[in-house]
Chain A
Amino acid sequence: MATKKKNSEEKYSKELLLGFYRTMVRIRSFEEHAAECFTKGMLAGNIHLSIGQEAAEAGAFATIQPQDYFTSTHRGHGHVIARGGDPKRAMAELFGKRTGYCKGKGGSMHIADMAKMNHLGANGIVGAGQPISAGSALASKILGDNCVTVGCFGDSSTNEGTFHESLNMAATWKLPMVWFIENNCYGVSTEIHRVTNTPDLATRAAAYDVPFAVVDGTDPVAVYEAMTVAMDHARSGKGPYVVEAKVYRYQGHYCGDPAVYRPAEYMEQALANDGIEKLGKKLIAMGVKEEELEEIKKAAQEEMDEAVKFADESPYPDPAEVTDDMYTADNERCVAR
């Protein structure tokens, strides 16, 4: 079990930390733009925001190589940004537009990008990504490629049967897989410890003889370090590894949920530990100018303004496309009756 090391950031270059900072700011900006659009009624359905989880996502995704694969969840916008996805196409998908990652057929909860990001998809079913990520790792084992598959999940999915079934098989068969749990302590309104008996969630990996780490998810460096160990472990053929990052969920479950079920202390603690704030202070302490950080924020703001503009101006899908893409072969006949 790896733990956070004091002053560990000194081991890393300013550029790496600035990279984390940029990713975190971009995630937050994307989410704030999405929230604004949602409030204005520009989006259909529900969106689940990653605000408060940016540090964990920036740190984790910095360890994932281009050839690697990952799966995501209903709270998955941050993963797309952290993986270097295109905010325009992501935003367009939230808008249900033809130019979205899934041509408007998936929406916020189901962004996928097989071609560039090796993103096997966010999933609307809690616990569905566990076997899919394990299956992708199985494919890598059979194919003998050098890819690791990272399954990104929330705290609550560790209570699904698929978590245990898949981890058992992945461990038995030594599959190249890393599970990255962002524990924001809440499943919709239910605080995780009201329904789970262990203080940490990654400790469950021990039941399957799988190594694990529990880290502070507001510190990208701590996550980066733990994930580096995990990725090396998986890539070297030793089997799966589980990393749990403790994060905060600033918003309610979905955008617009006032989260009245949550004590005020939760948010006080969250804001006192805000990853972007903390990293900003550290960077300034390392000699980065405040204007440089402001510049990063401004660039992110403009980038996401552009993304919204792109999404807003993009065409909706042609209604005639509604039956397309159900099947690869014989689609028309299969959907006809």
Chain B
Amino acid sequence: MSKKITVSKAIREGLLEEMRRDDKMFIMGEDMAVMGNVFAVTTGFLDEFGPNRVIDTPISEEGFLGMAVGAAMRGMHPCVELMYDDFVTVCADPLFNQAAKLKYMSGGQCSIPLVLRMPMGSGRRNAGQHSQSLEGMVCHFPGLKVVAPCSAADAKGLIKSAMRDPDPVVVFEHKLLYAKKEEIPEDEDYLVPIGKANVKREGKDLTIITWSREVNFSMEAAEKLAAEGIDVEVLDLRTLVPIDWEAIKASVSKTHNVIIVSEEVKRGSYAGEISAQIAEELFDELDAPVERVCGLNIVSPFSPVLEDQNFPHPDDIVKAVKRVLNK
């Protein structure tokens, strides 16, 4: 049994189900309670769970994320939303120095079961401070788990897994996916495990490793390439930390050619990290250099004409695949 709902609705369902089953869980962030979130992810929550568990915060990201860390140390399960992942820079300390580190620095005495939802990504014409894809930066910090779903089903299943995970989990949600309507299972209690990639499309000539919205673009590219007789495999990582290395290894060992597609600034990207790992450990499987297909090393521009230059579109992916295969 399945039904068709939007990604944002799927996230809402995931949160709602977890709020009902776990009374230690609470939701915190800007415009989460009375308004029910800009993307309607928490509409109706305030009525059902009350102001103690659905909290509208002031615009004090460092303060409220730090408070969520403190509450998590006390055994609570906070789910915090940053309106844009770009704002992670104003709450870097609680995320990177506290949530990520306190378990280790205390010798394992505490867990930080915190979920931080971060709408991300370009394409909404919001310019440089509201359009970034900061996976590379967030994945850098040991202590965090990081997921980046591309579909409604994965978004719900991963949110639920994240809420049940004892460690801090950062959820990158692409803003342009929210309105996409997709099939998801009816079953209330389905989970998508953290750390498990998904072969979205099987192929034999080349592996596209990707996540979030670029999965959809990669699938479009794969169709175009198929028409030209090029058979690519699309591997949706879904989880960035811990990365599903077995899935990467299996796919690369099959196709021997790889590109990694993400919306990140190319320099210092997580795509680059994956590329390095493949070069280090799967060198002998490679028939061509690994290519990263990412954004430019620039500030995300405002004008649609300019912004569209700045992240990979299906045609860019097609071109990259052909470059690598020399076709």
A328 touches B103 (CB 8 A): yes
Instruction: Give a binary string over B157-191; 1 marks a CB under 8 Å from any A CB, 0 the rest.
Output: 00000000111000000000000000000000000
Smallest CB separation, A316 vs chain B (Å): 13
A125 touches B97 (CB 8 A): yes
B108 touches A114 (CB 8 A): no
Judge whether A128 is part of the interface by a CB distance below 8 angstroms: yes
The chain B residue with its CB closest to the CB of A131 is B66
B242 touches A333 (CB 8 A): yes
Judge whether A105 is part of the interface by a CB distance below 8 angstroms: yes
B63 touches A168 (CB 8 A): yes
A131 touches B145 (CB 8 A): no
Complex Cα gap A228–B307 (Å): 59
Chain A CB within 10 A, most for which of B53, B93, B102, B107: B107
Smallest CB separation, A168 vs chain B (Å): 6
Q: Which of A12-20, A132-140, A236-244, A292-300 contacts B (4 or more CB under 8 A)?
A: A132-140
Residues of A within 8 A of B53 (CB): 142
Complex Cα gap A141–B52 (Å): 8
Residues of B within 8 A of A142 (CB): 26, 52-53, 71, 76
B107 touches A103 (CB 8 A): yes
B106 touches A102 (CB 8 A): yes
Smallest CB separation, A34 vs chain B (Å): 19
Judge whether A100 is part of the interface by a CB distance below 8 angstroms: yes
B106 touches A169 (CB 8 A): no
Residues of A within 8 A of B76 (CB): 138-139, 142-143
Known: A330-B242, A335-B142. A105 touches B67 (CB 8 A): no
Q: Which of A142-170 contact B (CB under 8 A)?
A: 142-143, 149, 161-162, 165-166, 168-169
Judge whether B265 is part of the interface by a CB distance below 8 angstroms: no
A327 touches B69 (CB 8 A): no
Find B98's partner among A132, A172, A328, A336 (CB 8 Å cutoff): A132
Q: Which of B60-85 contact A (CB under 8 A)?
A: 60, 62-76
Q: Which of A91-145 contact B (CB under 8 A)?
A: 100-106, 110, 112-115, 120-121, 123-125, 127-128, 130-143
Judge whether A324 is part of the interface by a CB distance below 8 angstroms: yes
Complex Cα gap A190–B69 (Å): 30
Smallest CB separation, A238 vs chain B (Å): 17
B105 touches A102 (CB 8 A): yes
B69 touches A132 (CB 8 A): yes
B60 touches A165 (CB 8 A): yes
Complex Cα gap A330–B166 (Å): 10
Find A114's partner among B71, B73, B98, B194 (CB 8 Å cutoff): B73
Chain A CB within 10 A, most for which of B53, B241, B242: B242
Judge whether A69 is part of the interface by a CB distance below 8 angstroms: yes
Smallest CB separation, A326 vs chain B (Å): 5
Judge whether B94 is part of the interface by a CB distance below 8 angstroms: yes
A334 touches B145 (CB 8 A): yes
B241 touches A120 (CB 8 A): no
The chain A residue with its CB closest to the CB of B194 is A330
Known: A102-B105, A105-B106, A114-B106. A327 touches B167 (CB 8 A): yes
Known: A139-B75, A328-B167. A131 touches B94 (CB 8 A): yes
Known: A102-B106, A337-B277. A138 touches B70 (CB 8 A): yes
The range of chain B's interface size is 35 or more
Smallest CB separation, B89 vs chain A (Å): 13
Instruction: Give a binary string over B32-76; 1 marks a CB under 8 Å from any A CB, 0 the rest.
Output: 000000000000000000001101011010111111111111111
Residues of A within 8 A of B108 (CB): 103, 105, 324-325
Smallest CB separation, B151 vs chain A (Å): 23
Judge whether B243 is part of the interface by a CB distance below 8 angstroms: yes
Interface size on A, residues (CB 8 A): 56
Judge whether B136 is part of the interface by a CB distance below 8 angstroms: no
Smallest CB separation, A109 vs chain B (Å): 9
Residues of B within 8 A of A135 (CB): 66-74
Complex Cα gap A139–B28 (Å): 12
Complex Cα gap A259–B11 (Å): 55
Judge whether A264 is part of the interface by a CB distance below 8 angstroms: no
Judge whether A206 is part of the interface by a CB distance below 8 angstroms: no
A136 touches B74 (CB 8 A): yes
Complex Cα gap A67–B142 (Å): 32
Q: Which of B95-139 contact A (CB under 8 A)?
A: 97-98, 102-111
The chain A residue with its CB closest to the CB of B245 is A337
Smallest CB separation, A142 vs chain B (Å): 5
Q: Which of A173-207 contact B (CB under 8 A)?
A: 173
Smallest CB separation, A319 vs chain B (Å): 15
A326 touches B63 (CB 8 A): no
Smallest CB separation, A320 vs chain B (Å): 15
Given contacts A115-B109, A136-B73, 15 further A-B contacts (CB under 8 A): A102-B107, A131-B65, A132-B70, A132-B98, A134-B70, A135-B69, A135-B70, A139-B71, A140-B74, A143-B74, A325-B104, A326-B104, A328-B166, A333-B242, A336-B242
Give the 8 A-B CB pairs with smallest separation, nearest first.
Answer: A135-B70, A131-B66, A165-B63, A325-B108, A135-B67, A102-B107, A103-B107, A165-B60
Residues on A facing B (Cβ under 8 Å): 69, 71, 100-106, 110, 112-115, 120-121, 123-125, 127-128, 130-143, 149, 161-162, 165-166, 168-169, 172-173, 324-330, 333-337
A-B contact pairs, 27 of them (CB 8 A): A69-B74, A102-B106, A102-B107, A106-B105, A112-B102, A112-B107, A113-B109, A121-B102, A131-B62, A131-B67, A132-B70, A132-B73, A132-B98, A134-B67, A134-B70, A135-B66, A135-B74, A137-B70, A138-B70, A140-B74, A165-B60, A169-B64, A328-B103, A329-B165, A329-B166, A334-B142, A337-B277
